[in-house]
Chain A
Amino acid sequence: MSHGWFDEEAGPIVRPYAMTRGRTRGTVDHPLDLIALVTAETGDPDGAAGGVSDLTDRELAPEHAEIMRRCRRTTESVAELATGLDLPVGVVRVLISDLLDAGLVRVSRPVPASQLQDDSTLREVIDGLRAL
C-alpha cells in the first residue's frame, strides 16, 4: 500500500492517467481481467501480414515499449504487467488496449475455471504443483 500512486496526504498523482490521455478503457468494451494474458504478436518478417502496426518501438511511449519488451520475453498477465511496470491496473489496461488496437499484441481472456471443457487441465495443474 505504501508504494501506491496515491499519497494519502497530498492526494492523487495525476501522471499515470495523463499518460493515457484521460482514457481508462481504450477500445476494449469490457475491462481486461487481471489474469488476461498478453502475448506479443510476432508479425511477419516480410511485413505483409501479421503485426499490422504502423508504429515502431521508437514511436511508442516508454510504458508501451516496456510492455512489448516484457511480452516478447514471455506471456504475462495484466496483473503481472501492472506490478512489473509499477502502474495502477487501470492504466495498464489502457496501455494494453492501445497495443491491441495497433496489432502489436494479442490478449487471451481467461476461461472461468467452472467452464473448463474436461478434467485434463486440473489434472495437469495437480501434477505440476506436486512437481514443485
Chain B
Amino acid sequence: MVSGPFERGRSRPADPTALKILVAGAFGVGKTTLVGAVSDIKTLQTEESLTEAGRPVDDIRAVSGKRSTTVAMDFGRITISDSVIVYLFGTPGQERFRFLWDELARGALGALILVDTRRLADSFSVVDFFETRGLPFAVAVNCFDGAIRYPPEQVRRALDLDEDVPVMLCDARERASARDALVAVVEHALHRSARQRSAVS
C-alpha cells in the first residue's frame, strides 16, 4: 500500500514509512509539553476545520457559510531514519473534539495517555476510547509539583487497566522521560502484534 496508487514505473529508493502515535489526555496534563520535548521540529500546531474533518466536502462555500470552528492539534516529528518517520499528534482533550480522535486513531501505531493523579477521573473516558477501539496504549503518570506520588500499580487499579498495559511515571518536560514513555507504547504494540500473530497461526 505504500505509495501504491501513485507509484511510477521507475526504480528509486523507496519512500519512507510514516507512522503516528497519539498523545492523549485531559486538558492540562502535559500533552503539548511532551510532544515538544521529543520532536525534531519546533512543535507545530496543525488545525483541522471541524466541518471538514473526516469526510470529503464537495462545496467549500457551503462550509464557509457555516462558520466553522478550527481546532488546533499539537504536532511533532521524530525522524527515526531515512526510511521511517514517526509523527506525534497531541489530541485535543475536550469531549466535543472526540470525533476528531476517530480520524487520528485510524491507522495509528498506538497512543500514550497522560494522566494527572490529582484529576484521574478526567482520564476515564480517554482510556475507554482506546480500549474500545483496540488501539495499543500506555499510561504515563505525569508528576506535577505538589501532587502526591502514587505507585503505578495503584493508578492501574484506579483506572481499571489490563495487566499488560504499561503504566509509568513521567516528567513530560524531560526529553528522556518522554522518550521512555513513547518506547513503552511501541513495545506494547509490538508485543500485541506478536501475540495476535501467534494466536492466528
Q: Which of A77, A80, A113 has the most CB of B within 10 A?
A: A113
Inter-chain CA distance A50–B176, complex, in Å, is 44
B64 touches A17 (CB 8 A): yes
A132 to B89, CA, bound (A): 18
Q: Which of B69, B75, B182, B190 contacts A6 (CB 8 A)?
A: B69
Chain B residue contacts of A124, Cβ below 8 A: 80-81, 83-84
Partner of B61, one of A22, A75, A108, A129: A22
Is A82 an interface residue when CB atoms closer than 8 A count as contact? yes
Residues from chain B with Cβ under 8 Å of A72 in the complex: none
| CB atoms of B18 and A77 under 8 A apart | yes
A1 near B72 with CB under 8 A, answer yes
Whether the pair B16, A83 counts as a contact (CB closer than 8 A) is no
Q: Which of B1-9, B115-123, B158-166 contacts A (4 or more CB under 8 A)?
A: B1-9
The answer to whether A12 and B68 have CB atoms under 8 Å apart is yes
Give the Cβ gap from A101 to chain B, nearest Cβ, in Å.
Answer: 11
Cβ contact within 8 Å between B15 and A75? yes
Report A97 CB to chain B, min CB distance, Å.
11
Contact partners of A33 in chain B: CB under 8 A: 107
A4 touches which one: B55, B72, B86, B176 (CB < 8 A)?
B72
Instruction: Digitize B40-72: 1 where CB-to-A-CB distance is under 8 Å, 0 elsewhere.
Output: 010011111100100111111101100111111
- A interface, CB within 8 angstroms of B: 1, 3-6, 8, 11-12, 14, 17, 20, 22-25, 30-31, 33-37, 39, 49-50, 75, 77, 79-80, 82-84, 88-90, 100, 106-116, 119, 121-126, 128-130, 132
Chain B residues closer than 8 Å to A79, beta-carbon distance: 44, 46, 75, 87, 89
| B98, CB-defined interface residue at 8 Å | no
Q: A6-B70, A77-B87 are in contact. Are A89 and B78 (CB under 8 A)?
A: no
Flag if B44 contacts A6 (CB, 8 Å). Answer: no
Tell whether B149 is near chain A: CB-to-CB under 8 Å: no
Judging by beta carbons under 8 Å apart, are A119 and B193 in contact?
yes
Residue contacts A-B, CB under 8 angstroms, 21 given:
A17-B61, A17-B64, A34-B104, A36-B18, A77-B77, A79-B75, A80-B41, A88-B47, A106-B8, A107-B6, A108-B18, A109-B3, A113-B189, A122-B193, A124-B81, A124-B83, A125-B19, A128-B78, A128-B86, A129-B186, A132-B78
Q: With A82-B47, A83-B44 given, can you name 14 additional A-B contacts, CB distance below 8 Å?
A: A1-B47, A34-B20, A83-B46, A88-B49, A90-B60, A108-B6, A108-B16, A110-B17, A119-B190, A122-B186, A125-B80, A125-B109, A128-B86, A132-B179
Establish whether residues B80 and A22, one from each chain, have CB atoms under 8 Å apart when the complex forms. Answer: no
Whether the pair A37, B16 counts as a contact (CB closer than 8 A) is yes
CB distance from A121 to the nearest CB of B (A): 6
CA gap between A119 and B72 in the complex, in Å = 33
Partner of A113, one of B15, B64, B85, B108: B108
When distances are taken between beta carbons in the complex, the residues of chain A under 8 Å from B59 are 22, 24
Given contact pairs A37-B16, A108-B3, A121 touches B67 in the complex (Cβ within 8 A): no
